[in-house]
């Protein structure tokens, strides 16, 4: 999936390991597209690659394009425009969970 995103010029691709922290997914993949048009293009490429691999992705937010979520089961991909990524800041939100758990040990 990363290759499909990079082919469409996705920026700042980050993988957040959520294994054991939530039942939602084992990982979030977060990336940025410079515009809604680019985020849609990135999402389309990822969905096409996932379907070719036999997955059945669920897609949300494609019409707006500011934050597109692609549910691949154990992995959830988030494609943001820069302002939406900064606003939601998933890296900080999920990173803080890891910091708290590390402090408790």
pLDDT > 50? residue 98: no
Q: What is the mean pLDDT of residues 43-66?
A: 97
CB-based contact 12:19 (threshold 8 Å): no
CB-based contact 81:32 (threshold 8 Å): yes
pLDDT > 60? residue 96: no
The count of other CB atoms within 10 Å of the CB of residue 20 is 8
Q: Which domains does the chain have, with CATH numbers?
A: 2-88 (3.30.460.10)
Q: Average pLDDT, whole number, for the chain?
A: 88
How many secondary structure helices (H) and strands (E) does the chain include? 4, 5
10-43 per-position pLDDT tens digit: 999 988 888 887 788 888 999 999 999 999 999 9
Q: What is the mean pLDDT of residues 4-10?
A: 94
Closest CA to 85 of 5, 30, 47: 30
For residues 99 and 70, give the distance between their C-alpha atoms in angstroms, rounded to a whole number.
26
The answer to which of 26-30, 62-66, 67-71, 75-79 has the lowest mean pLDDT is 26-30
The pTM score is 0.86
Q: Edge to edge, what strands does the sheet with 11-17 contain?
A: 11-17, 27-32, 75-80, 67-71, 58-60
The count of other CB atoms within 10 Å of the CB of residue 39 is 28
pLDDT > 60? residue 6: yes
């Amino acid at each position: 999936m990363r290759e499909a995103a990079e082919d469409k010029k996705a920026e700042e691709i980050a993988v957040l390991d959520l294994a054991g922290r939530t039942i939602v997914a084992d990982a979030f993949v977060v990336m940025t597209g410079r515009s809604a048009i680019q985020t849609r293009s990135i999402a389309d490429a990822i969905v096409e690659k996932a379907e070719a691999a036999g997955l059945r992705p669920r897609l949300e937010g494609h019409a707006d394009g500011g934050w597109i979520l692609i549910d691949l089961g154990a992995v959830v991909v988030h494609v943001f425009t820069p302002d939406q990524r900064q606003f939601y800041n998933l890296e900080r939100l999920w990173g803080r969970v890891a910091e708290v758990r590390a402090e408790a040990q």
